[in-house]
Amino acid sequence: MNTNLNNGFGSWVIRFRWLIVPATLFLVFAAASGGRFLGFSTDYRVFFSENNPQLLAFEALQNTYTKNDNVMFAIEPKDGKVFTRKTLAIIEEITAASWKIPHSIRVDSVTNFQYTWADGDDLVVQDLVENAPSFTDAQLKKVQAVALAEPLLLNRLITRKSNITGVNVTINRPQKTITETPEVAAFAREMKDKFQKKYPDITIYLTGVIFMDNAFNEAGEGDMKSLVPFMYGIVLIIMALSLRTFWGTLTTILIMAFSILTGMGLAGWSGILLTPISANAPTIILTLAVADSIHILVTLFYEVRHGKTKYEAIQESLRVNHQPIFITSLTTAIGFLSLNFSDSPPFRDLGNIVAVGVMAAYVYSVFFLPAMMAILPLRVKKVSSSQNIWIDTFGDWVIHNRNLLFWGMIIIITFLSIQIPRNIIDEKFNEYFDTRYQFRIDNDYVEEHLTGFESIEYSLSAGESGGISNPAYLKKLDEFADWYRKQPGVMYVGTLTDTMKRLNKNMHGDDESFYRLPEERDLSAQYLLLYELSLPFGLDLNNQINIDKSSTRFTAILESVSTDYALNLEKSAQKWLKENAPPEMASHGASPLIMFSHIAMRNIDSMMVGTILALLIISAILVGVLRSFKLGLISTIPNLVPMFMTFGIWGWLVGEIGLAVSVVAPVALGIIVDDTVHFLSKFRRARVELGKTTEEAVRYSFHTVGTALLLTSIILVCGFLVLTFSGFRMNAQLGFMTTISIICALLADFLFLPTLLMKLDRLSTKKQVT
Amino acid sequence: MNHIFFILGIALFLNASPSSAETPEEKGLAIALEDDKRDNGYQDFTANLLMILKNRQGEESSRSIKNKTLEVEGDGDKSLSIFDKPRDVKGTTLLNFTHKVGTDDQWLYLPALKRVKRISSSNKSGSFMGSEFAYEDVTSQEVEKYTYKWIRDEEYQGEKCFVFERYPVYKNSGYTRQVIWLDQKDYKILRIEFYDRKNSSLKTLTQTDFKLYLGKYWYPHKMFMENHQTGKSTLLTWSDYEFRTGLSDKDFNKNSLKRTR
């Protein structure tokens, strides 16, 4: 490249060092002051773009009926009996107290269940349990029998064994401030603590969408607070061990901090709301930023050790490193920017924040770092260059064993690539959190012992105003419920027909033989009217019947099932509706489960496009940089090979691909391409500028960048390994998979790329000879 | 009407204006009593009611009801609501005896079943026909159903108003309190804000298109209830008011239910 310009650049930086340092501080401060606008999102809906079709369907359903965000208290008496005076009294108390939870609009429990029965010609509608301490044993028995026979309660709020019961609170957050979720969660937890203390004979578990949302918030904040300092510690140790310079390490630490502050600060200015995903940005920026400094410092110290003055060394280091650092920063930024193709906004935010941070790191590394080094004292022991001998030995070993390595790598790559189809898409969103979160522990328990967390909901239309009373519609609805109840993994089905049957029985003097759907349309409608007039505040039917009485809500609650199973179940449900029900009843299932299941798929598709585009742009840049179409083309091989290896290893070891894993490809591409850039640019310099043979050029590449590549790879691996300690599964997966890809990239660049270069070179020499 | 309260009301009203010894609670009650007094003596009326329901999704639905109300001395009013639309509930009739103290009595005639059913629920605070009006909002508003507290006087929509709160006595009520804007000249309720059990803003009723009947009774023709929590709303439009139509007690009993048209 332009040697003079970079030479000039180095002296320019040294000349204006006293200007660059305060200017940098000012810039960082200006950007970082945006940090005060940063907050953590507390709503799982942030994972979906505004026009995500599954989100729209679910919002429409919730706008037609009511929201289904909830807080669920699961109460387990230690004697294993819910239907005792004591326990029922507690449930009554918790039910009453739950109405005071902020933004609660409905509370359902076994005690306030609206029990209907016939008293002569009267329809009596009352709480199933009122004033439990006054109950006789016979009454307790009766209440238990009613609850267990009620399809709306069994496996939802009461278990068949009657050992656990639930109080479900529907929460309707106005979604105006991000403090709503933590407020609700804190209130419910306080309630739990209070009741737990007051009644030591029961155990209370807390779950529900609110707690999942709140866990997102806690996970993001927790990761930032624990993982970033951890990462700082690791980098510090590695730097101290490898560079053995106090001021260099200190300046690098500053640069990492500046880059993070810039990325996060600008995110604040642009109004990004953090999620556990984008909260990874600091760790990733930190990891990536350190490489720039290392490249500059390694050269600088090498030159000083070999007798150059400090200023000369700075100039030389910038001359050699400026362009590769710029290119690698650019390609990394492109990789992250391609996350904008993601359908899920948190990943776009992550991509943009990291891209900004990486480019900031480049700017600070070529201005602030040399300026600081020019100012600060530098003491270096002059040592012999024996340090690098091992990498030369390694280079020689690779050249010697090129045939073995080439074919060996081809076999390994092929073997791993075959494993790729083992990956199946699975996204269990309530398992995003590991057991260090109370939500996960409680939810697992509730799922296993009381009721499922995941659901599929439908809004089933009758096609005309008031049509839900049509006997034909009710009959279909009932058949659909029967079909759903027969499917494996379905715990509970909530539908209007069970209420209609019960009312019909009540209206016929509680005659069991009338526990069936009414046969006339006006009769059904009038039953419903009577029933509605009898219901208390908050327990009306608006959550399951639309205002026009032309459609009803249908809810299936599932055990913890795989995404694949849920999607197939939904597909067969639609097929059932299509084949058995009138066309107006056709409906798509909607729920967070369906949303998260689809977004994983959608994201994999969109990230495929993003990755290919990023690869094309990066390859084009490499063609320009290496000024060789052939080398640019060759570069795609070591860039792609690690991808295949990584997904193969993943398929072999894990086999489940979700939202997080789908973004690994472009992220990893941006990072691993750096190795190729460094290796190939040195290779080209040796071949073209120094006129060396292919073998010599390979040796030269190993000699000049081998150590730095190894060092930066170790740091990158450490950085992304740190992410695997996150309690948030997506981050852990992202970290683990990127780690694998970095190791694979290093293997590809050290073992495969050189042997490939030599093979291709021999082919072209042969051609030239013949 | 209850005579003691009636006399007390007049006494308080005469006493009302600048007396500084009056507590906000006393003033609130005085306002309610005066309002109640001004409503007295209409004897009976019939009117038609159209309800238009809307949800957040933009769906709309309507109901239409014919209403007959009879004033009862010494207790709450009696009323008949004859449902006309939706078609499936046409002819269904709700008979309602409001009581000053205790739960109201209700019977529903179901033409499809040709039977009268008593609604035997002690907790009828739920939605009225799926609308944003609760049953307790549409039933006759007796003074004794609440306790009161005057808050302030203020101008509202160009009218000088009392702003006062009332607190339901009914233990199953869905509300902790209601804030009422009542114009001081004609005692028209212009606005009511409802607060739910956790004292959060739940919904707001605005009443407009008032007309004067029999030279002394102001009745609103439009009542708009907006639920701030669910985004749903209901508009009630009253029409064809007729007063002193000669209705009597015998039009308002269980047996008359089946006959009513």
Nearest to A536 among B108, B117, B123 (CB): B123
Residues 6+ away with beta carbon under 8 Å from A766: none
Provide, as residue numbers in chain B, all residues whose Cβ is less than 8 Å from the Cβ of A521.
Answer: 88
| Per-residue confidence (pLDDT) for residue B13, from 0 to 100 | 47
Q: Average pLDDT for residues A155-164, to the nearest whole number?
A: 94
pLDDT tens track for A402-420: 899 999 999 999 999 998 8
The strand pair at B159-168 and B146-156 is best described as: antiparallel
A658 vs A563: CA distance, rounded Å: 10
| Count of beta carbons in the 10 Å neighbourhood of residue A619 | 18
Residue A596 has pLDDT above 90, yes or no: no
Give which of A351, A434, A288, A343 is closest to A733, Cα–Cα. Answer: A434
Q: What whole-number percentage of chain A has pLDDT above 90?
A: 45
Asked if B173 and A537 come within 8 Å (Cβ–Cβ), the reply is yes
End-to-end CA distance of chain A: 34
pLDDT tens track for A306-357: 888 889 989 988 988 888 889 989 999 998 999 998 888 999 999 999 999 9
- Whether the predicted interface score ipTM is above 0.90: no
A-chain residue closest to B117, CA distance: A122
What sign does the CA torsion over B210, B211, B217, B219 have?
negative
| Per-residue confidence (pLDDT) for residue A288, from 0 to 100 | 85
Question: Could you tell me which residue, A89 or A228, shows the higher pLDDT?
Answer: A89
Residue B8 has pLDDT above 50, yes or no: no
| Per-residue confidence (pLDDT) for residue B206, from 0 to 100 | 96
Q: Average pLDDT for residues B97-122, to the nearest whole number?
A: 84
Q: 3-state SS of chain B? A: CCHHHHHHHHHHHHHHCCCCCCCHHHHHHHHHHHHHHHHCCCCEEEEEEEEEEECCCCCEEEEEEEEEEECCCCCCCEEEEEEEECHHHCCCEEEEECCCCCCCEEEEEECCCCEEEEEECCCCCCECCCCCCEHHHHCCCCHHHEEEEEEEEEEECCEEEEEEEEEECCCCCCEEEEEEEEECCCCCEEEEEEEECCCCEEEEEEEEEEEEECCCEEEEEEEEEEECCCCCEEEEEEEEEEECCCCCHHHCCHHHHHHCC
Helix (H, G, I), strand (E, B), or coil: what is residue A552? strand
Q: Average pLDDT for residues A165-189, to the nearest whole number?
A: 92
pLDDT tens track for A485-518: 999 999 999 999 999 999 999 988 899 999 999 9
Q: Average pLDDT for residues A466-477, to the nearest whole number?
A: 94
A-chain residue closest to B173, CA distance: A537
| Per-residue confidence (pLDDT) for residue A769, from 0 to 100 | 44
User: Following CA atoms A348, A351, A355, A358 in sequence, which dihedral angle do they give, to the nearest 10 degrees?
Assistant: 150
Q: Which residues, listed in sequence order, are joined to residue B94 by a DSSP beta bridge?
A: B81, B108
The strand pair at A656-657 and A424-425 is best described as: parallel
| Per-residue confidence (pLDDT) for residue A5, from 0 to 100 | 47
pLDDT band at residue B18 using 50, 70 and 90 as cut-offs:
very low
| Count of beta carbons in the 10 Å neighbourhood of residue A579 | 7
- Encoding tokens for residue B132? 């944003």
Q: With beta carbons less than 8 A apart as the criterion, state whether A643 and A614 touch.
A: no
Helix (H, G, I), strand (E, B), or coil: what is residue A166? strand
Question: Could you tell me which residue, A80 or A227, shows the higher pLDDT?
Answer: A80
DSSP A120-164: TTEEEEEES-SSGGG--HHHHHHHHHHHHH-TTTBTTTB-TTS--
Asked if B126 and A526 come within 8 Å (Cβ–Cβ), the reply is no
Written as one letter, the residue type at A312 is: E
| Per-residue confidence (pLDDT) for residue A382, from 0 to 100 | 60
State how far Cα B94 lies from the chain centre. Answer: 15
Distance from CA of A296 to the nearest CA of B (A): 59
Provide, as residue numbers in chain B, all residues whose Cβ is less than 8 Å from the Cβ of A546.
Answer: 55, 59, 61
Provide, as residue numbers in chain A, all residues whose Cβ is less than 8 Å from the Cβ of B254.
Answer: none
Residues 6+ away with beta carbon under 8 Å from A67: A105, A170, A171, A172, A173
Burial of B18 (0-12, 13-18, 19+ CB in 10 A): exposed
Residue B10 has pLDDT above 60, yes or no: no
- Encoding tokens for residue A235? 């980098």
Question: Residue A691, by phi and psi: left (phi above 0), alpha (psi -120 to 50) or beta?
Answer: left
Residue B4 has pLDDT above 90, yes or no: no
Residue A3 has pLDDT above 70, yes or no: no
Provide, as residue numbers in chain B, all residues whose Cβ is less than 8 Å from the Cβ of A466.
Answer: 86-88
Computed on alpha carbons and rounded to an integer, the radius of gyration of chain A in Å comes to 32
Asked if A533 and B108 come within 8 Å (Cβ–Cβ), the reply is yes
B-chain residue closest to A60, CA distance: B57
Helix (H, G, I), strand (E, B), or coil: what is residue A309? coil
Cα angle B43, B47, B50; round to 5: 150
Q: What whole-number percentage of chain A has pLDDT above 70?
A: 97
Instruction: Characterize A761-770 residue by residue with b for buried, 16 or more Cβ atoms within 10 angstroms of its Cβ, and e for exposed.
Output: beeeeeeeee
pLDDT band at residue A388 using 50, 70 and 90 as cut-offs:
low
Q: What whole-number percentage of chain B has pLDDT above 90?
A: 48
B-chain residue closest to A124, CA distance: B120
Q: Average pLDDT for residues A603-629, to the nearest whole number?
A: 87
Distance from CA of B206 to the nearest CA of A (A): 21
pLDDT tens track for B159-187: 999 999 999 988 888 899 999 999 999 99
Half-sphere exposure of A449 (CA within 13 A, CB side): 21
pLDDT band at residue B16 using 50, 70 and 90 as cut-offs:
very low
Nearest to B126 among A63, A174, A536 (CB): A536
Residues 6+ away with beta carbon under 8 Å from A769: none
Q: Average pLDDT for residues A60-82, to the nearest whole number?
A: 92
Which structural domains are found in chain B, ordered by start?
2-259 (2.50.20.10)
Asked if A525 and B119 come within 8 Å (Cβ–Cβ), the reply is no
Nearest to A537 among B86, B106, B134 (CB): B134
Residue A44 has pLDDT above 60, yes or no: yes
Burial of A461 (0-12, 13-18, 19+ CB in 10 A): buried
Residue A146 has pLDDT above 80, yes or no: yes
Q: Which residues, listed in sequence order, are joined to residue B196 by a DSSP beta bridge?
A: B175
| Angle of helix A664-684 versus helix A592-626 axis, rounded to 10 | 10
Residue B19 has pLDDT above 60, yes or no: no
Question: Could you tell me which residue, A236 or A30, shows the higher pLDDT?
Answer: A30
| Per-residue confidence (pLDDT) for residue B261, from 0 to 100 | 55
The strand pair at B217-227 and B189-196 is best described as: unpaired
B191 vs B177: CA distance, rounded Å: 14
Beta strands in A414-472 (DSSP E): 424-425, 454-461
pLDDT band at residue B202 using 50, 70 and 90 as cut-offs:
very high
Distance from CA of A71 to the nearest CA of B (A): 16
Provide, as residue numbers in chain A, all residues whose Cβ is less than 8 Å from the Cβ of B57.
Answer: 60, 63-64
Q: With beta carbons less than 8 A apart as the criterion, state whether A725 and A732 touch.
A: yes
Q: With beta carbons less than 8 A apart as the criterion, state whether A651 and A419 touch.
A: yes
- Encoding tokens for residue A132? 């439990």
- Encoding tokens for residue B167? 């607190």
A-chain residue closest to B118, CA distance: A122
Q: For chain A, how are helix, strand and coil distributed in percent, rounded to 5?
A: 70, 10, 20
Helix (H, G, I), strand (E, B), or coil: what is residue A748? helix
- Encoding tokens for residue A3? 């040697």
Cα angle A760, A764, A767; round to 5: 140
- Flag the least confident range among A166-180, A239-253, A308-322: A239-253
- Encoding tokens for residue B200? 């959060």
Asked if A539 and B126 come within 8 Å (Cβ–Cβ), the reply is yes
DSSP structural state of residue A278: G
Q: Average pLDDT for residues A348-372, to the nearest whole number?
A: 94
Nearest to B130 among A104, A539, A542 (CB): A542
Q: With beta carbons less than 8 A apart as the criterion, state whether A104 and A169 touch.
A: yes
Helix (H, G, I), strand (E, B), or coil: what is residue A558? strand
Q: With beta carbons less than 8 A apart as the criterion, state whether A370 and A296 touch.
A: yes
End-to-end CA distance of chain B: 29
| Per-residue confidence (pLDDT) for residue A7, from 0 to 100 | 59
Give which of A110, A526, A532 is closest to B125, Cα–Cα. Answer: A532
DSSP structural state of residue A37: G
- Encoding tokens for residue A766? 């042969």
DSSP A208-219: SHHHHHHHHHHH
| Per-residue confidence (pLDDT) for residue A188, from 0 to 100 | 96
Helices (H), A340-463: 345-366, 368-375, 389-400, 402-418, 438-449
Q: Average pLDDT for residues A60-86, to the nearest whole number?
A: 92
Q: Average pLDDT for residues B83-100, to the nearest whole number?
A: 89
Provide, as residue numbers in chain A, all residues whose Cβ is less than 8 Å from the Cβ of B52.
Answer: none
Asked if A469 and B56 come within 8 Å (Cβ–Cβ), the reply is no
Interface residue of A191, A504, A529, A541 to substitute, partner B, most B CBs within 10 Å? A529
- pTM of the prediction? 0.85
Q: With beta carbons less than 8 A apart as the criterion, state whether A153 and A110 touch.
A: yes
B158 vs B148: CA distance, rounded Å: 24
